[in-house]
Structure 1
Amino acid sequence: MQNTLSTPALIKSTVIALAIAAIALVSFILPAEYNIDPTGIGEKLGLTALANTTVTIEQQEQNTDTLELSDSFDITVPAGRGIEFKFDMRQFKKMKYEWSTEGSALYFDLHGEPEGDTTGYYESYAIATLAEMEGSFTAPFNGVHGWYWKNKTDQAINVKLKVNGEYTLIGLKK
């Protein structure tokens, strides 16, 4: 014989499930995705910093002779967090870059991940803690290339990034 729940038990279970969903929405989802934090729990758990990550594209120019792009970005690295900002590049394509903060140093790893790799492999091109850097690199393989910045301070840090080269913008990876 199959056990069935009575109508009052089903209603009670439904109300409990809805209450749990509402608590999760207000406490976790709204702060992390939309920076709406009516309870203050999202800020205490560091979830509002996820929603505060912003990227502003200031310009994009394309040189049709070489297919080179030039872009400028304002990227906010939340306090105590790390973010990745990426580009898709083909093997042997070049990128010139220049980035700076307003004085606060960030830990960073400029690296690439081969296209199609499922092992988690990545190749680092530069790792340091600096407030600015300028350089260029040639993509050693087809794949995703870019920066991981880690903000170890208790204040958000703005990064101004300028790039020029042959790439397709991916942008912020969460």
Structure 2
Amino acid sequence: MYNTDLPTRAELPTSRQLLRSTAIAVVAAAGILVTVVLPSEYAIDPTGVGKVLGLTEMGEIKAQLAAEAEADRRASEALVPATPGSTGPRSSLMGTVMAQFLIGSAAAQTPPVAARSDETAVVLRPNQGLEVKLRMRKDARATYSWTSTGPVNFDLHGEPPNPPRNFSHSYKSGRSTSADNGDVVAAFDGTHGWFWRNRSAQDVTVTLRTSGPYEAITRP
């Protein structure tokens, strides 16, 4: 059996070549970080390349959604009443069983959400982003259609009442769109809705029509 000959010392890369390859790899990684990762994830675009490629817009949307999710989480925590006489979390088996029993009983007594229909209009100034949300229970289905007087970028997404940091469940998104329609089925209890951003130089009006068993509709 013939085995491949081992390379000679002359054929091995020198230390200078290894350092050069390492330097090239570091420069390439830094370039990707600055031109792709930072704009798309954090809306930081020191070179301007991210804006040209549309990556900065992605980062802005993510940052906007993360900020709104954090604000919703804090608002939800502020609305949770303290239990009189409680001094901290209880971990006993009986306490867990009782908690599950109470949750199940409350869910069974919760009346169904009646269907409703709404028409909502929002005006977006140049480069402005706004959001409209439906408060829905898990598996609820809402029908929607929206039109705008100019092209907008949009993201249809949902968030539970106390989402993890930077959590957002995306159903659908698009760029430079003037209309969309369909159904949104809630993946969980929480708020589900649309984030629009106007990238044009003129005001744009978005008109949203919704119908279905949702508890409330919120807007700026």
TM-score normalised by the chain length of structure 2: 0.47
Per-residue CA distance 1:134-159 (angstroms, 9 max, x = gap): 10011010111100001001111001
Question: Residue 66 of structure 1: CA displacement?
Answer: 7.0
Q: Please, which of 175, 181, 197 is the counterpart of residue 134 of structure 1?
A: 181
Partners of 2:125 and 2:203 within 8 A in 1 = yes
1:166 aligned partner: 213
Percent of residue pairs identical = 31
What residue is the counterpart of 1:89 in the other structure?
A: 136
Answering whether residue 115 of structure 2 is matched by residue 68 of structure 1, we say yes
Greater relative contact order structure (CA < 8 Å, 6+ sep): 1
Higher strand share: 1
Structure 1: distance between partners of 2:217 and 2:164: 19
Offset of 1:91 from its aligned partner? 0.2
After TM superposition, the structure 1 = structure 2 runs for residues 1-174 of structure 1, keeping only pairs within 5 Å, are: 67-102=114-149, 104-129=150-175, 130-173=177-220
CA-to-aligned-CA distance 1:82-107 (integer Å, 9 cap, x gap): 111111111000110000012x1110
CA distance in 1, matches of 2:123, 2:216: 17
CA distance in 1, matches of 2:131, 2:184: 18
Unaligned runs of 5+ in 1: 1-64
Distance 2:213 2:162 in 1: 20
Unpaired runs of at least 5, structure 2? 1-111
Q: Partner of 1:101: helix, strand, or coil?
A: strand
TM-score, scaled relative to structure 1: 0.58
The structure with more helix, counted as a fraction of residues = 2
Cα–Cα, structure 1 residues 73 and 132, in superposed 2: closer, same or farther, change >3 Å?
same
Question: CA-atom RMSD, angstroms?
Answer: 1.6
The structure number with the bigger radius of gyration is 2
